[in-house]
Amino acid sequence: MLGVSDIPWFMVDDKLHSHRKAVRAGVQAMGLWVLAGSWSADHLQDGFIPDYMAARIDPDSELHAGELVAAGFWSVAEKNGEQGWQFNGWDEFQPTREAVEAKREAARERMARVRGNRKNGSQEVRANSEGTSQEVRLTPAHPIPSQPIQENAPRKRGTRIPENFAIDDDMRKWLADSNLTHLDAQAITVEFVDYWVGVAGVKGVKLDWVATWRNWIRRKAEESPRQSRGGGGYDQWSRALVVGRDV
């Protein structure tokens, strides 16, 4: 049986209202951002929102999506042949499909154990109003209708960062297409690998390491002008939520 913790949530930082990115994007664009995030979490899309769904949420989605891209919240993307946008940093700051499905798998296992006990004749003894005991068979629990449990659903598993992680031709092309060739991508990648090798536990497991690297590069590009003005260091900024607090 699914509990509240098994249902995906779209999380919003309590300082979003005053974050410079949100102010830059504007209230209408941020409305699209929140509703699109809710849709993507509900459908386990890991931060992807197709253009037709964005248009359903917001008739001016093209305009407001452009403002979100300019503010650094979204990137133009394609998934399974569909055009749309991708939330930057989703896999670092929001529940991923992998994490949600892992919880649901655990819920299925719990239900299987309960059903197995019932099948084997497990009974609960309760006292009736007259003080004598009576056997009461436990009735099956029903999953939440909006969150059906899919048996034997294949799922992709995350991994730790590969030991030989390095920039390839596709990643160089992305740097060029994103106008980020002015960055020292090689040095940033070394720093990126060193950081994630040292991260323990589930946080150090990702579904797509190239996507995580792209988000790291984007934040480095944002941080560079801050350093030139004497701002905070990169390591501090790299840990800040995309929708979170200024550092």
pLDDT per residue over 66-85, tens digit each? 999 999 999 999 998 899 99
Q: Rounded mean pLDDT of 130-151?
A: 49
**Helix/strand/coil for 72:** coil
Q: Give the pLDDT confidence score for residue 8 in this predicted structure.
A: 64
Whether the CB-CB separation of 55 and 61 falls below 8 Å is answered with yes
pLDDT of 55 strictly over 50: yes
Q: Rounded mean pLDDT of 201-225?
A: 89
Q: Rounded mean pLDDT of 108-122?
A: 76
- Distance set, CA 131 to CA 123, 127, 128 (Å): 18, 6, 5
What residue spans define the domains of the chain?
1-155, 158-247
Band of pLDDT at residue 86, cut at 50, 70 and 90:
very high
- Mean pLDDT is lowest, of 20-29, 44-53, 218-227, for 218-227
pLDDT in tens, 163-177: 899 999 999 999 999
- Mean pLDDT is lowest, of 84-98, 107-121, 156-170, for 107-121
